[in-house]
Amino acid sequence: MKVLKFGGTSVGSPERMMQVADIIAGVQGKKIVVLSAVSGTTNTLVSMSDYCENEQKDEAKKVAEELHSKYHEFVKNLYKDEAYVKSNIEFIDQKFSDINNLIEERFTEQVAKMFVAQGELISTHLFTEYLSSIGKSAVLLPALDFMALDEYAEPDLKTTKVKLENLLSSLDENVIVTQGYIARNAAGGTDNLRRGGSDYTATIVGAVLKVEEVQIWTDIDGMHNNDPRLVDNTRPLAHLSFEEASELAYFGAKVLHPSCIVPAQMNEVPVRIKNTMDPEAHGTLISNETEPEKVKALAAKDHITAIKIKSNRMVMAYGFLKRVFEVFEKYRTPIDMITTSEIAVSLTIDNSDHLKEIIEEIGKYATVEVDREQAIICIVGDHIASRKGVGTAIFEAMEEIPIRMISYGGSRNNISLLVPHDYMKDSLIKLHKALF
Ligand code: ASP
Ligand code: MG
C-alpha cells in the first residue's frame, strides 16, 4: 500500500484534478489518497473566520458568496455528465449553506476550526465523485473518523492506528480518498494539524499503517538545496536522509510541513516528493540512507525572536538553566537555538504568543533582552559539523554579516546561524556561492 498526498495547487483546478486521477491510475496497488483543499480556499476560509471574530459578518458573507460561485464554475468544468454536475452543485450549495450558518453563529475557537475544515471536505468529495464519474471505483473515508489529536492538540498515533485499521478492514476498494489537515481533538471537536498539515496527515497515515512509501505530490520538483524564492540557481535534491529532511522542513524549507518527517522516520517509511506538473521528474526521496559528509542544503526561517537572559549570579551557579527552561515549558513554547556563556544564555523562539509572560517571569531573577525579527540560517548535511573546511568556508562567506548566535555541533547534521532578518537573503546567497 502507498499513501499519495496532493497539495492545494495539485487539486487547484478541474484540469489539475483530472491529472491527479491520471497520476493515481499510474500507481500500482492499493493507495490512500490524501487531498488538501483547492488552493486559496483555506486562506479564504481563514479570512471569513477572522471577519466573524471581528464582528464583520457582512464582510464574511461577501467572501463566502464569491467562493461559492467559484465552486459552481469548478463543478461545471469538472464533470462531463449533467447528472454529476447537478448533484455536485447541490452538494456545494449545501456546504455554503452550512458555512453561512457558521457565520451566523456566535464566534468561538470551535467555530474557527469548523470554518477552516470546509476546504478539504469539499475537495475530497468533488474528487471522489470525479473518479466515480469516469468509472473508477473509489471510496471517501472521512479523516474525522480516524485522525485523532491528544489533549495537547498533537497527533495521537495510537488511537489513529486502531481506528484506521478498523475502518480499512471493511473496505475492498483500491483507492481510498481522505482529507488532509483535519482531525478530531480530544474533546471530540473538529480540529486540524495547523497550516500545511496535509503533509502531516499523509505521513501519519503512512507511518501507522507502515506503508511501502508516502508520496507528497506538490508544485515543485522536490526539496531544493536552497530557497528558490530568494536564491538563483538552486537545484532539487535527489536524496535526503530523514534527519536532513527534518532539519530542512523545520528550519524553513517550505515544501513540507515542519513536523511531517517525524512519524515517517519513526516507522522507517520512505517519503518521496514529486512534482504534479512534471510527474516523470525524479523528485526527492527521503529515507534512512545518507550520502556521507556532504553539505546538502541551506534553508532559512524568519520572524524569529532572540532572547538574552543574564543572571546576576550565574557564575558557578547551578539550577539557573533549569529555572529558565521551566518557564518555557510552562508556556509550551519550544526553544530552537541556544548558546550559553558563563554569565548569560541566549535562545530563540519561533512562537512568541507568550513572550510577555515569559519575560515577566524570568525578569524576576534575571535581566532579559529581546531582539525581534531575526532569522535562522540552517546549513544541513551529514556530519557537516565535523567536516574539515566547512566552518572556514561559512565564516568567510559571512564576513560582512553580523552573526547574533551560532549553533555548531548540537546535531551532526546541522549548523545554524542567527542573523537579523535584513541579512537573511544576503546570507543565503553568499553561503550558496561558498558551499555549492
Ligand atoms: N489546506 C490546508 C492549508 O492550506 C492544509 C494543507 O494544504 O496542507 O494549510
Ligand atoms: Mg503544503
One-letter amino acid for residue 327 of the chain? V
**Residue 298 region by backbone torsions, left for phi larger than 0, else alpha for psi between -120 and 50, else beta:** beta
- The residue-averaged pLDDT of 24-37 equals 96
**The three grid cell numbers given for residue 66, joined into one nine-digit string:** 464569491
In the sheet where 414-420 sits, what is the strand order? Answer: 335-340, 344-349, 297-311, 366-380, 414-420, 405-411
**In the chain, what percentage of residues exceed pLDDT 90?**
88
CB 36 less than 6 A from any atom of ligand 1: yes
Residue from 194, 195, 201, 205 whose mutation best tests the ligand 1 pocket (most atoms within 8 A of CB): 195
Could you say which ligand is closest to the alpha carbon of residue 198? 1
Q: What is the pLDDT of residue 85?
A: 98
- The yes-or-no verdict on residue 185 having pLDDT over 90 is yes
Q: How far is the CA of 246 from the centre of ligand 2 (A)?
A: 15
Pocket test for ligand 1, best of 198, 217, 260 (most atoms within 8 A of CB): 198
Judge whether 420 and 402 are in contact, CB under 8 Å.
yes
Q: Is 258 in the pocket of ligand 1 (CB under 6 A)?
A: no
Q: Does residue 127 have a pLDDT over 60?
A: yes
Q: What average pLDDT does range 259-272 have in this prediction?
A: 96
* Architecture of the CATH domain 2-220+255-287: 3-Layer(aba) Sandwich (3.40)
Task: Output the CATH code of domain 297-435.
Answer: 3.30.2130.10
Q: Is 118 in the pocket of ligand 1 (CB under 6 A)?
A: no
- All CATH 3.30.2130.10 domain ranges of the chain, comma separated, are 297-435
State the pTM of this model.
Answer: 0.91
Span(s) in the chain for CATH 3.40.1160.10? 2-220+255-287
By alpha-carbon position, which residue is closest to atom 5 of ligand 1?
196
Res 349 pLDDT > 90? yes
pLDDT band at 316 (very low <50, low <70, confident <90, very high): low
Decide: 10 in ligand 1 pocket, CB within 6 A.
no
Report the pLDDT value the prediction gives residue 388, as an integer from 0 to 100. 84
Confidence band (pLDDT; 50, 70, 90) for 294?
confident
C-alpha–C-alpha distance, residues 213 and 210, integer Å? 8
Residue 167 pLDDT more than 60?
yes
**Mutational test site, ligand 1, from 11, 36, 45, 121, max ligand atoms within 8 Å of CB:** 36
Taking 80 as the threshold, does the pLDDT of residue 4 lie above it? yes
Euclidean distance between CA atoms 402 and 202, whole angstroms: 40
Q: At residue 46, does pLDDT exceed 80?
A: yes
Written as one letter, the residue type at 184 is R
* pLDDT confidence of residue 312: 73
Check if 37 has its Cβ closer than 6 Å to any atom of ligand 1. yes
Is the CB of 42 within 6 Å of ligand 1?
Answer: yes
Helix, strand, or coil here: 345? strand
Q: For 319-379, where are the alpha helices, taking DSSP H only?
A: 320-330, 355-362
| Least-confidence region, from 98-112, 212-226, 303-317, 397-411 | 303-317
Dmax (CA) for the chain in angstroms is 78
Average pLDDT over residues 94-111: 97
Average pLDDT score over the chain? 95
Q: 308-320 burial string, b = 16+ CB within 10 Å, else e?
A: bbebeebeeeeeb
